[in-house]
Amino acid sequence: MSGNSQPAIEKKRKSIREISPIDVYKLLPKTNCGKCREANCMAYATRLVNGELLLADCLPLFTAEYQSAHEKLSILLAPPVRTVTIGSGENAIDIGGKYVLQRHDFTYHNPTPIAIDVNDLMPEPELLERVRHIGQYSYNYIGRTVTLNAIAVRSVSGNPETFAYAVRVIANASHLPLILCALDPEVMSAGLAAAAGRRPLIYAATEANWEAMADLALAHNAPLAVFAPGNLALLRSLVKTLNACGIRNLVLDPGTFADEGLADTIANFTAIRAAATKRFDETFGYPLLGVPLTVWAGGELSEDVLKWREAITASMLLSRYSDLLIMHSLDGWVLLPQLIWRFNIYTDPRKPVTVEPGVRTFGRPDQRSPVLITTNYALTYFTVESDIKAANLDCYLIVADTGGLSVESAVAGRYFTAEAIATALKSNNVAALVGHTTLIIPGLAARLSGETEEATGWKILVGPKDSSGLPQFLRERWPPES
């Protein structure tokens, strides 16, 4: 596509909220071939606009016959914030790709990767141990595994050979994507040579070194971070200059200032993201890099205070549009809140996180074991599961389909009803699992007990409001009196 046609196309760009399925359908093959696993092209168009399917799911679009339509759809559906890939192969990470400023307008895509720093003056055993720790850090949160995502290698020595050696050691020890941090182009060049084939993020081009860094980015086909701390006018100028050099895979770092400067940091991040998503400002339509690591450069403070400040800064940047974070602390109490907060921000607000309905077996239940029921909201289910496992209970747990609502919400919304409970008992053939007809319902569903007995013919016991009370409840109430 010629450079002259691009401005005209950009004028036609719409907010994702203004794109209708009809806009997309007009450009589709309209063969209703079913290769996207949808009933027809209109159904595919609807889910594509809702962010539930990808353009790649329509296989005919990638044939020569529909090349023009594919190009037009790619432009129509392109996010105002470009997607930039760091790394290569199956371990690559995508950042950016945002359509809207506010999450409730449309789901966010590409969860913010969290990179942990190392530096080239660390003794090799210490370096390898830290890399191992980064790679193994994970936590199971409501059935999903959350992890760290990248390693940021900082040049502290300022020596090309020292930096290259550290990068080589890390590249051999870990498959995680790399961010190479050096402002000296000679040092960066050595690091890039040591990370050949890994396509790291180059950090960073500045007012002083942009030309040399641009040459390195082009030579290595690597994404380039642009650093202009606290100066959005300079940042804009650098982006335009790098664009003119043919560089499109950029990441913007407007500077991360902790403590008194945090408000200005958040204001700058917000201004850049608003410009991209509200005004379709191409210059600022790139992923944003936040560096909570910077808190460690300030003052004679205790490690605990610095970790606390890093945690606060990271959570604020996650909330306000950072597409990539570089952190230092590996303490669980610093990182875990970020990983969980990231998970929650990047779930689709239109779709509750759910688990499959059905019957779960815990321990070694027999025909005299208790039968419990809960909803299929993931947080509810995994909390109940955790409490059952912690108490080593032998029981059956029915997971009812409530559309992903918690117990209290499902009762209030009439998704968890006597009829729904009766359906769950029957569809899962629970009567064949036990030799009794007693069901324990959640305490928050107590008001359903009478009508549930009528609808099911089972005796209903009202359990505790919190599943942590199940062990004591069962000790006192199970088996029930005849």
Bridge partners of 201?
A: 179
Mean pLDDT score, 58-77: 91
| Between residues 192 and 144, the one the model is more confident about | 192
Q: What is the pLDDT of residue 482?
A: 66
Alpha helices in 346-446 (DSSP H): 378-390, 407-412, 418-427
Nearest to 292 by CA among 311, 273, 268: 311
* Model confidence at 4: pLDDT above 50: no
Name the segment(s) of the chain with CATH classification 3.20.20.20: 83-345
Token pair belonging to 73: 């759809």
CATH number for the region 83-345 comes to 3.20.20.20
pLDDT tens across 190-200, in order?
999 999 999 99
Q: Is 411 helix (H, G, I), strand (E, B) or coil?
A: helix
The rounded mean pLDDT for the chain is 93
| 74-90 as b/e: b if 16+ CB within 10 A | eebbbbbbbbbbbbeee
CATH number for the region 6-76 comes to 1.10.15.40
pTM score, whole prediction: 0.84
Least confident stretch, 33-37, 52-56, 269-273: 52-56
Q: How far is CA 377 from CA 13, 354, 382, 406, 452, in A?
A: 37, 5, 9, 5, 21
Name the segment(s) of the chain with CATH classification 1.10.15.40: 6-76
Q: Is 103 helix (H, G, I), strand (E, B) or coil?
A: coil
CATH number for the region 358-477 comes to 3.40.50.11600
Name the segment(s) of the chain with CATH classification 3.40.50.11600: 358-477
* Model confidence at 3: pLDDT above 90: no
pLDDT tens across 5-19, in order?
343 334 445 555 578
Q: What is the pLDDT of residue 128?
A: 98
Residue 462 to residue 406: CA distance in whole angstroms: 17
